[in-house]
Amino acid sequence: MAKEQKEVRDLQEGGYVMIEDTPCLINAYSTSKPGKHGSAKARIEGKGVFDGQKRNFTNPVDAKCWVPIITRKQGQVVSVTGDDMQVMDLETYETFTMRIPDDIDPSSDDEIEYLEYESQRKVV
């Protein structure tokens, strides 16, 4: 498992958090004041890193939550076939197939940067 536990109060916008067992990028973080009998609450809004879906959750600021360890890696495009591209990791020389995002037009020998979490990958 590539994740660690943190307290909700330690999260920040632009960081990552697990929401509904999905790694999400934190878009908004807000806290409410503690009530008469309760603790302060934090509301976190995030967007799925790999699926793009919006998710949110509310927890006490002293509660624990999971934070995914997402690594940023360099790769080289080996070949392009239809909507897929063959990419070689520049560190391990492992090759794998990735779906080509709509906003890029890769060609062979292009270097790309991608995010990896467990078996999921996404071009940055």
DSSP string across 18-87: EETTEEEEEEEEEEE---SSS--EEEEEEEETTT--EEEEEEETTSEEEEE-PEEEEEEEEEEETTEEEE
The pLDDT assigned to 35 comes to 76
User: What structural domains and CATH numbers belong to the chain?
Assistant: 3-68 (2.30.30.30), 71-123 (2.40.50)
With tokens 């560190």, the residue in question is: 91
- Predicted pLDDT of residue 74: 95
Other Cβ atoms within 10 Å of 87 Cβ, number: 24
Task: Give the mean pLDDT of 60-66.
Answer: 92
The answer, yes or no, to whether residue 59 has pLDDT greater than 80, is yes
> Going by C-beta distance under 8 Å and a sequence separation of 6 or more, which residues neighbour residue 83?
99, 100
Q: Which of 21-25, 47-51, 81-85, 106-110 has the lowest mean pLDDT?
A: 106-110
Mean pLDDT of 73-89: 92
Mean pLDDT of 41-58: 93
pTM equals 0.82
- Dihedral of CA atoms 71, 91, 101, 46 in degrees, nearest 10, equals 0
Rounded mean pLDDT of 33-58? 90
